[in-house]
Structure 1
Protein backbone atom coordinates (compact mmCIF):
# COMPACT_ATOMS: atom_id res chain seq x y z
CA UNK A 1 0.00 0.00 0.00
CA UNK A 2 2.74 2.39 -0.99
CA UNK A 3 0.20 4.90 -2.27
CA UNK A 4 -0.87 5.69 1.31
CA UNK A 5 1.25 7.71 3.73
CA UNK A 6 3.20 5.45 6.13
CA UNK A 7 1.22 6.71 9.14
CA UNK A 8 -2.13 5.87 7.47
CA UNK A 9 -1.30 2.45 5.98
CA UNK A 10 -1.39 0.54 9.30
CA UNK A 11 -4.67 2.20 10.27
CA UNK A 12 -6.34 1.13 7.02
CA UNK A 13 -4.93 -2.40 7.30
CA UNK A 14 -5.97 -2.71 10.95
CA UNK A 15 -9.47 -1.55 10.04
CA UNK A 16 -9.77 -4.23 7.34
CA UNK A 17 -8.20 -6.81 9.66
CA UNK A 18 -10.68 -6.05 12.43
CA UNK A 19 -13.67 -6.35 10.13
CA UNK A 20 -12.57 -9.88 9.24
CA UNK A 21 -11.73 -10.78 12.84
CA UNK A 22 -15.05 -9.53 14.15
CA UNK A 23 -16.84 -11.78 11.67
CA UNK A 24 -14.51 -14.68 12.58
CA UNK A 25 -15.21 -14.29 16.30
CA UNK A 26 -18.86 -13.21 16.33
CA UNK A 27 -20.40 -13.81 12.90
CA UNK A 28 -21.40 -17.35 13.80
CA UNK A 29 -23.76 -16.07 16.51
CA UNK A 30 -26.43 -15.73 13.83
CA UNK A 31 -25.95 -19.40 12.87
CA UNK A 32 -26.58 -21.25 16.12
CA UNK A 33 -28.19 -24.10 14.19
CA UNK A 34 -24.83 -25.03 12.59
CA UNK A 35 -22.52 -27.55 14.25
CA UNK A 36 -19.82 -25.99 16.40
CA UNK A 37 -17.00 -27.73 14.49
CA UNK A 38 -18.24 -26.15 11.25
CA UNK A 39 -18.29 -22.61 12.62
CA UNK A 40 -14.83 -23.16 14.17
CA UNK A 41 -13.42 -24.19 10.78
CA UNK A 42 -15.17 -21.28 9.05
CA UNK A 43 -13.82 -18.89 11.70
CA UNK A 44 -10.28 -20.22 11.18
CA UNK A 45 -10.58 -19.49 7.47
CA UNK A 46 -11.78 -15.96 8.11
CA UNK A 47 -9.06 -15.44 10.75
CA UNK A 48 -6.39 -16.44 8.22
CA UNK A 49 -7.55 -13.62 5.97
CA UNK A 50 -7.49 -11.31 8.99
CA UNK A 51 -3.85 -12.20 9.68
CA UNK A 52 -2.97 -11.34 6.08
CA UNK A 53 -3.88 -7.74 6.95
CA UNK A 54 -2.87 -7.60 10.64
CA UNK A 55 0.70 -8.83 10.22
CA UNK A 56 1.65 -6.28 7.52
CA UNK A 57 -0.18 -3.56 9.47
CA UNK A 58 2.02 -4.19 12.47
CA UNK A 59 5.22 -4.79 10.49
CA UNK A 60 4.88 -1.60 8.45
CA UNK A 61 3.24 0.33 11.26
CA UNK A 62 6.15 -0.31 13.60
CA UNK A 63 8.31 1.90 11.38
CA UNK A 64 6.06 4.83 12.36
CA UNK A 65 4.45 3.84 15.68
CA UNK A 66 5.63 2.10 18.84
CA UNK A 67 4.25 -1.35 19.64
CA UNK A 68 2.14 0.20 22.42
CA UNK A 69 0.68 2.74 19.99
CA UNK A 70 -0.11 -0.01 17.44
CA UNK A 71 -1.83 -2.12 20.10
CA UNK A 72 -3.79 0.87 21.34
CA UNK A 73 -4.86 1.71 17.78
CA UNK A 74 -5.93 -1.88 17.26
CA UNK A 75 -8.07 -1.86 20.41
CA UNK A 76 -9.83 1.39 19.53
CA UNK A 77 -10.43 0.16 15.97
CA UNK A 78 -11.70 -3.17 17.35
CA UNK A 79 -14.22 -1.40 19.59
CA UNK A 80 -15.40 0.82 16.75
CA UNK A 81 -15.81 -2.09 14.34
CA UNK A 82 -17.46 -4.23 17.00
CA UNK A 83 -19.93 -1.52 17.96
CA UNK A 84 -21.00 -1.11 14.33
CA UNK A 85 -21.11 -4.90 13.84
CA UNK A 86 -23.22 -5.53 16.93
CA UNK A 87 -25.76 -2.92 15.87
CA UNK A 88 -25.83 -3.52 12.11
CA UNK A 89 -25.28 -7.29 11.93
CA UNK A 90 -26.45 -8.69 15.25
CA UNK A 91 -29.21 -6.12 15.81
CA UNK A 92 -28.08 -5.33 19.34
CA UNK A 93 -28.26 -1.93 21.01
CA UNK A 94 -25.39 0.15 22.29
CA UNK A 95 -26.28 1.31 25.80
CA UNK A 96 -25.03 4.23 27.85
CA UNK A 97 -22.86 1.80 29.83
CA UNK A 98 -21.17 0.70 26.60
CA UNK A 99 -20.58 4.30 25.57
CA UNK A 100 -19.07 5.17 28.95
CA UNK A 101 -16.78 2.15 28.81
CA UNK A 102 -15.71 2.86 25.23
CA UNK A 103 -15.08 6.50 26.14
CA UNK A 104 -12.80 5.49 29.01
CA UNK A 105 -10.85 3.20 26.69
CA UNK A 106 -10.49 6.06 24.21
CA UNK A 107 -9.29 8.30 27.05
CA UNK A 108 -6.61 5.71 27.77
CA UNK A 109 -5.65 5.75 24.09
CA UNK A 110 -5.28 9.52 24.29
CA UNK A 111 -2.65 9.16 27.01
CA UNK A 112 -0.75 6.47 25.08
CA UNK A 113 -0.39 8.84 22.13
CA UNK A 114 0.07 12.00 24.24
CA UNK A 115 3.58 11.06 25.24
CA UNK A 116 5.25 11.20 28.63
CA UNK A 117 3.46 13.13 31.35
CA UNK A 118 5.91 15.44 33.11
CA UNK A 119 6.54 14.44 36.69
Structure 2
Protein backbone atom coordinates (compact mmCIF):
# COMPACT_ATOMS: atom_id res chain seq x y z
CA UNK A 1 0.00 0.00 0.00
CA UNK A 2 2.93 2.35 0.71
CA UNK A 3 4.16 1.78 -2.85
CA UNK A 4 0.78 2.85 -4.24
CA UNK A 5 0.62 5.94 -2.00
CA UNK A 6 4.14 6.86 -3.02
CA UNK A 7 3.37 6.58 -6.73
CA UNK A 8 0.08 8.51 -6.45
CA UNK A 9 1.73 11.31 -4.46
CA UNK A 10 4.58 11.47 -6.97
CA UNK A 11 2.09 11.71 -9.83
CA UNK A 12 0.30 14.64 -8.12
CA UNK A 13 3.62 16.26 -7.36
CA UNK A 14 4.72 15.99 -10.96
CA UNK A 15 1.47 17.46 -12.22
CA UNK A 16 2.16 20.61 -10.18
CA UNK A 17 5.83 20.52 -11.19
CA UNK A 18 4.95 20.42 -14.87
CA UNK A 19 2.70 23.44 -14.54
CA UNK A 20 5.28 25.29 -12.40
CA UNK A 21 8.09 24.67 -14.89
CA UNK A 22 6.23 24.88 -18.19
CA UNK A 23 2.78 26.34 -17.56
CA UNK A 24 3.98 29.93 -17.91
CA UNK A 25 4.88 29.17 -21.53
CA UNK A 26 1.13 28.97 -22.12
CA UNK A 27 0.33 32.38 -20.57
CA UNK A 28 0.13 34.00 -24.01
CA UNK A 29 -3.04 31.94 -24.59
CA UNK A 30 -4.73 33.45 -21.49
CA UNK A 31 -5.58 37.13 -21.96
CA UNK A 32 -5.25 38.25 -18.33
CA UNK A 33 -1.85 36.53 -17.97
CA UNK A 34 -0.28 37.87 -21.17
CA UNK A 35 1.21 40.97 -19.56
CA UNK A 36 2.79 39.31 -16.55
CA UNK A 37 6.51 40.00 -16.35
CA UNK A 38 9.29 37.67 -15.33
CA UNK A 39 8.93 38.36 -11.60
CA UNK A 40 5.21 37.55 -11.81
CA UNK A 41 5.94 34.34 -13.67
CA UNK A 42 8.52 33.35 -11.06
CA UNK A 43 6.10 34.04 -8.20
CA UNK A 44 3.32 32.01 -9.85
CA UNK A 45 5.77 29.17 -10.50
CA UNK A 46 6.95 29.26 -6.87
CA UNK A 47 3.34 29.10 -5.75
CA UNK A 48 2.78 26.01 -7.85
CA UNK A 49 6.08 24.50 -6.69
CA UNK A 50 4.84 24.82 -3.10
CA UNK A 51 2.09 22.32 -3.92
CA UNK A 52 4.61 20.14 -5.72
CA UNK A 53 6.57 19.86 -2.48
CA UNK A 54 3.41 19.19 -0.43
CA UNK A 55 3.13 15.92 -2.38
CA UNK A 56 6.80 15.20 -3.19
CA UNK A 57 8.17 15.26 0.35
CA UNK A 58 5.57 12.89 1.83
CA UNK A 59 5.91 10.59 -1.20
CA UNK A 60 9.63 10.21 -0.58
CA UNK A 61 9.17 9.90 3.18
CA UNK A 62 6.50 7.21 2.83
CA UNK A 63 8.30 5.36 0.04
CA UNK A 64 11.85 5.37 1.41
CA UNK A 65 12.98 1.94 2.65
CA UNK A 66 14.69 3.31 5.77
CA UNK A 67 11.36 4.87 6.81
CA UNK A 68 9.52 1.58 6.38
CA UNK A 69 8.71 2.07 2.71
CA UNK A 70 9.43 -0.32 -0.14
CA UNK A 71 11.94 1.73 -2.19
CA UNK A 72 15.64 2.62 -2.09
CA UNK A 73 16.77 6.14 -3.01
CA UNK A 74 17.73 5.02 -6.52
CA UNK A 75 14.37 3.34 -6.98
CA UNK A 76 12.50 6.44 -5.75
CA UNK A 77 14.45 8.60 -8.18
CA UNK A 78 13.84 6.46 -11.25
CA UNK A 79 10.14 6.13 -10.37
CA UNK A 80 9.97 9.91 -10.09
CA UNK A 81 11.69 10.39 -13.46
CA UNK A 82 9.38 7.99 -15.27
CA UNK A 83 6.31 9.59 -13.68
CA UNK A 84 7.69 13.03 -14.53
CA UNK A 85 8.13 12.16 -18.20
CA UNK A 86 4.74 10.48 -18.36
CA UNK A 87 2.92 13.42 -16.76
CA UNK A 88 4.86 15.90 -18.89
CA UNK A 89 4.02 14.02 -22.08
CA UNK A 90 0.33 13.85 -21.25
CA UNK A 91 0.21 17.56 -20.36
CA UNK A 92 2.21 18.65 -23.44
CA UNK A 93 0.17 16.55 -25.86
CA UNK A 94 -3.34 16.75 -24.39
CA UNK A 95 -3.49 19.96 -22.32
CA UNK A 96 -0.92 22.36 -23.79
CA UNK A 97 -1.32 20.80 -27.25
CA UNK A 98 2.11 22.08 -28.26
CA UNK A 99 3.70 18.83 -29.36
CA UNK A 100 2.82 15.52 -30.92
CA UNK A 101 4.13 12.22 -29.61
CA UNK A 102 6.65 10.92 -32.17
CA UNK A 103 8.46 7.63 -32.62
CA UNK A 104 11.70 8.98 -31.14
CA UNK A 105 9.83 9.94 -27.95
CA UNK A 106 8.51 6.39 -27.69
CA UNK A 107 12.02 4.98 -28.16
CA UNK A 108 13.33 7.31 -25.48
CA UNK A 109 10.59 6.18 -23.10
CA UNK A 110 11.45 2.55 -23.82
CA UNK A 111 14.99 3.32 -22.72
CA UNK A 112 13.52 4.76 -19.51
CA UNK A 113 11.67 1.48 -19.00
CA UNK A 114 15.01 -0.29 -19.42
CA UNK A 115 16.47 2.07 -16.82
CA UNK A 116 13.69 1.09 -14.42
CA UNK A 117 14.44 -2.57 -15.09
CA UNK A 118 18.15 -2.16 -14.36
CA UNK A 119 17.61 0.01 -11.27
CA UNK A 120 15.17 -2.50 -9.77
CA UNK A 121 17.13 -5.61 -10.85
CA UNK A 122 18.73 -7.37 -7.91
CA UNK A 123 21.96 -8.88 -9.24
TM-score by length of 1: 0.89
Give the match for residue 21 of structure 1.
Answer: 17
Gap regions ≥5 residues in structure 2? 29-33
RMSD: 1.0
Q: What does residue 36 of structure 1 align with?
A: 38
Give, in whole Å, the separation in 2 of the partners of 1:22 and 1:106: 21
CA distance in 2, matches of 1:86, 1:48: 21
The corresponding residue for 1:106 is: 113
More helix by share: 2
Instruction: Name the counterpart of 2:71.
Output: 65
Number of aligned positions between the proteins:
112
**1:76 matches 2:76:** no
TM-score, structure 2 as length reference: 0.87
Give the unaligned 5+ runs of structure 1. Answer: none
Which residue in the other structure is 2:94 paired with? 88
Runs of 4+ in structure 1 off by over 2 angstroms are none
